[in-house]
Structure 1
Amino acid sequence: MREELRDFFITAKNQTEIKVIVLTGEGKAFSAGGDLQALKQVDAVSGRKRLQSGHELINTMLNLEKPIMLLLAV
């Protein structure tokens, strides 16, 4: 999902018709963080790749000159 979001933000950066990005989620655990059980299976190399992927996404979002809103249903 990190790569898909990063690719979306890269595409949205140059689309003038997009003025704001609104992220929404569904289910009981939207944006709750990583799956800690899945991390038990991660070795050093794949863990580093996961971190790099996360950094790329965050940097892409930070460099996007459009507001990003997160809507949570309570």
Structure 2
Amino acid sequence: MNTTATTTDSTVRTMIVTMLAEGSPVWYVAGMVNMRSHDVYVIGREAGYPDKARLRRAVWASKNRTRVPQAA
């Protein structure tokens, strides 16, 4: 198993979610991480985009290695 690729993928995903949570537009984030806008959007959507509060919770959870609380 290639853990370097997994770590890099995880780092890039965290960076994308963080930048979206900070209010950066999808096209800008895509340019910064050298990906297509659609791919960045899909990653952001998985973390709760466009809800910035939900994105911040996802970033916090990934840094603290906990699960993201689900809204009722």
TM-score, length basis structure 2: 0.32
TM-score, length basis structure 1: 0.31
